[in-house]
Chain A
Amino acid sequence: MDSQAYASATDTLPAEHGHPPFLRHHFESVSQQREAANFGMWVFLLTEVMFFGGMFCAYLIFRNWYHPAFVAGSNTLDITLGTTNTAVLIASSFTMAMSVYAAEIRRRGMLMFFLACTIVLGFVFLGIKGVEYHQKFVDHHVPGPSFSIEEFVHPSNPKALALTPDMAEKTQLYFSLYFLMTGMHALHMIIGISLLFFLLWRAYQGAYTEGHVMPIENFGLYWHFVDIIWIFLFPLLYLISRYR
């Protein structure tokens, strides 16, 4: 019985199903491969949700405890840059969706164009984020030895809300979480952009416009996920009691 699958006598699978070159040897059909990859991506995103979940949990607790500090910290963020970045990311999600569409209708040039757009928008986002980080650095709002609560105890801007020193100390927690959450988000953006370069190169070789849409589609899922994380981060970090 050696080297025999037991079911060989009752095999009913069609012998011919025209193996496309991208069908990996261990999958039976293209649809199985596609479904597996797609499902795998969703499971991975679930993992990512839990990863960010830890930080959201810390955020919720400290925001509840030190609400005034979170309001004051949030008010120092540049809402124009934040809104712009939100718009940039949503636009990049659109171009990503267009990339998937382009791959589906098998147009290589269009696919490359939209992938490139996504890369550019990704860089724009990171650039703006960099400007914001720089501003925080100049203001001594980066947690650590150089952190200063001066701005919250004696605000230079008359409209800002002054805090008592003990509450002002807690703004450091706000900024810790701000840098952690946006930093982790930015790290996901950087990983995404690196993958986009790889996809662009493979798209140039024509790998995704011959019916093999799956990598583009799955990367799209990842990119939208990173986008959605930002959609949560933006109100949580930028928009606390802005109505004053």
Chain B
Amino acid sequence: MSHISPVLWQFLVNWLKHFAIFPPEASTIAPYADALYFALVGMTIVGMLLVGTMVTFFAIRYRKSNHPQAIQMEGSTLLEATWTLIPLGIFLVFFVWGAILYFRIFNPPANSMQVYVVGKQWMWKAEHPGGQHEINALHIPVGIPVQVTLISQDVFHSFSIPAFRVKREAIPGRYTTVYFEATTPGKYHLFCTQYCGTDHSAMIGWIYAMRPDDYRKWAAGNTSGASLAQNGERLFAVMGCNACHAGNSQARGPNLYGLYNSRIRMTDGTTMIANDAYLREKILNPSLHVPAGYVPIMPTYQGQISEEGLIDLVEYIKSLDSNYRLTQMMNKSELNSAQPAPIGGANQGPGAAPLPGATKP
């Protein structure tokens, strides 16, 4: 065919080179998702064959020329019960299977590495706690669970990595999380799958899954110099937060040391976990939930801090918690397996004064 039309030939070759029908499996989740997928495909094929065979066979066997007189019949309760209960049973199996996978994807292990991603029209801004900032790209190490905390600063976006079989909506005004553990180093598509306006289809990027030492090199070479927590600390001072959250007994605001992930009792008697969402909410809507023993005097910072700033602050408050710091430290050490893990962060852990009304979980 190449001698007929070289252009067409080239087009065809080029075309077939780019032909893909199955996405790469590059995360620990992917094999589970694919197993479920093939089971579902199997169910569909069996279902199709069953219905197809019935219809085709009846259509041929009972065609008018072969079977001129229809034989009338009512239904059959037994048969109907059969094809009610068997599909129901099959569907319930898939329900359980799917639910297990869902909980696996959306509940990260405790020691996962933390990355923040902010979606905006029309780009993804990724921030690593170490101070690496990326746009439309995300570098991650393989073999380490990575938890991505997502938020949108304008409309709904959706963070989708087909090769990892994970996806999560980035919602304005609230954090969502997704977790994955890459298995194969490589470059994978990152898509925004929730329609978000004009350049929705340009809101794409790449995930670079790297071997841990490559990742360490990349992280060292691309840091902005200040970690998110350090940025947060600066912001904490600039916004005057330390005037009240001074950490001493005269302070008007609660002590923030060791606050992260603790259980806090509210004035109305309920308790809440001081997670990322809680911290963000307290900065923007401080009087929504008031911890027991405090009056809601904190001003709102709604509209004064960007989502990135909020992440910095949250990361700073997290860094005041020794457990969290230890986890991050262990991640770093896993990345850098040549050196023994420095666990110096642990020795000041219990030293932080516990919050009034706060108990460790």
9 A-B pairs, CB-CB below 8 angstroms? A65-B288, A66-B288, A68-B287, A164-B287, A164-B296, A164-B298, A166-B285, A166-B299, A167-B296
Label chain A's interface by main secondary structure: helix
Using CB atoms, name the residue of chain A closest to B287.
Answer: A164
Using CB atoms, name the residue of chain A closest to B295.
Answer: A164
Interface size, chain B (Cβ < 8 Å)? 11
Residue numbers in B under 8 Å from A165 (CB-CB): 299-300
Least Cβ–Cβ distance between B161 and chain A, in angstroms: 32
A210 at the interface (CB under 8 A from B): no
- Which one of A68, A164, A169 lies within 8 Å of B297 (CB-CB)? A164
Q: In B288-316, which residues have CB < 8 Å from any A CB?
A: 288, 296-300, 302
Least Cβ–Cβ distance between A174 and chain B, in angstroms: 15
A163 to B287, CA, bound (A): 9
A66 to B289, CA, bound (A): 10
Residue numbers in B under 8 Å from A169 (CB-CB): 300, 302
B235 at the interface (CB under 8 A from A): no
A169 to B297, CA, bound (A): 15
A222 to B288, CA, bound (A): 40
Interface size class of A (residues with CB under 8 A): under 10
Residue numbers in A under 8 Å from B300 (CB-CB): 164-166, 169
- List of 3 A-B pairs having minimum Cβ-Cβ separation, nearest first: A166-B300, A164-B287, A167-B287
B302–A166 contact, CB under 8 A? yes
Residue numbers in B under 8 Å from A68 (CB-CB): 287
B256 at the interface (CB under 8 A from A): no
- Mark interface residues in A146-190 (1 if CB within 8 Å of B CB, else 0): 000000000000000001111101000000000000000000000
A165 to B296, CA, bound (A): 10
Residues of B within 8 A of A (CB): 284-288, 296-300, 302
- Seed contacts A163-B287, A166-B285, A167-B287; 4 additional CB < 8 Å A-B pairs: A66-B288, A164-B297, A164-B299, A164-B300
Least Cβ–Cβ distance between B286 and chain A, in angstroms: 6
Residue numbers in A under 8 Å from B299 (CB-CB): 164-166
Residue numbers in B under 8 Å from A164 (CB-CB): 286-287, 296-300
- Mark interface residues in A218-234 (1 if CB within 8 Å of B CB, else 0): 00000000000000000
- Interface centre among A65, A66, A166, A167, by most B CB within 10 Å? A166
Residue numbers in B under 8 Å from A66 (CB-CB): 288
Using CB atoms, name the residue of chain B closest to A164.
Answer: B287
Residue numbers in B under 8 Å from A167 (CB-CB): 285, 287-288, 296
A66 to B296, CA, bound (A): 14
Residue numbers in A under 8 Å from B298 (CB-CB): 164
Using CB atoms, name the residue of chain A closest to B290.
Answer: A164
Residue numbers in A under 8 Å from B296 (CB-CB): 164, 167
A167 to B300, CA, bound (A): 9
Q: In A194-217, which residues have CB < 8 Å from any B CB?
A: none
Residue numbers in A under 8 Å from B284 (CB-CB): 166
- Mark interface residues in A44-81 (1 if CB within 8 Å of B CB, else 0): 00000000000000000000011010000000000000
A65 to B298, CA, bound (A): 19
A68 to B268, CA, bound (A): 12
Residue numbers in A under 8 Å from B286 (CB-CB): 164, 166
A164 to B302, CA, bound (A): 13
- Interface centre among B284, B286, B287, B299, by most A CB within 10 Å? B287
- Interface centre among B284, B288, B296, B302, by most A CB within 10 Å? B288
Using CB atoms, name the residue of chain A closest to B298.
Answer: A164
